[in-house]
Amino acid sequence: MSPNPKVTIEEHGRCGLVRYRENDKQILFEWEFCGGDRAVAEIWPLPLRRLTEQNTWSGARIADILDFVGREIVAQKAPGCRYEIDTDNSRITIVSA
């Protein structure tokens, strides 16, 4: 991990953007609130491809980056929830605890 990764969250109604920044690099995610009993929000990378296909610099660190983004989203916007990671599809689901 970079010594200073940062996550910022933009809200646009029921959806928005999550930016993961590390030095001069960035990964952009989109998120949307869910209406189910269990899932609170779904987060996926933009463009909608696996992160390894669009960000060669992140390479083998994808699982660590997704974990960091999930922790930050819960800490910043969803205290009391937890997150699940689908590393194969580069997706994060925020779920009720």
Structure confidence at residue 56 (pLDDT): 66
Rg (CA), the chain: 13
Report yes or no on 10 lying in a domain: yes
Return averaged pLDDT per consecutive 10 residues of the chain, 97 residues in all. Answer: 84 95 91 85 79 67 92 95 92 93
Residue 97: strand, helix, or coil: coil
71: in domain: yes
Classify residue 43: in a domain, yes or no.
yes
- In this structure, how many other beta carbons lie within 10 angstroms of the beta carbon of residue 12? 10
Q: 28 burial class (0-12, 13-18, 19+ CB within 10 angstroms)?
A: middle
In single-letter form, the type of residue at position 87 comes to: T
Q: 91 in a domain, yes or no?
A: yes
Question: What's the token pair of residue 35?
Answer: 């209406």
Asked whether residue 79 is domain-assigned, the answer is yes
Query: pTM for the complete prediction?
Result: 0.86
Residue 55: inside a domain: yes
Number of structural domains, the chain? 1
Q: Does residue 1 lie within any of the structural domains?
A: no
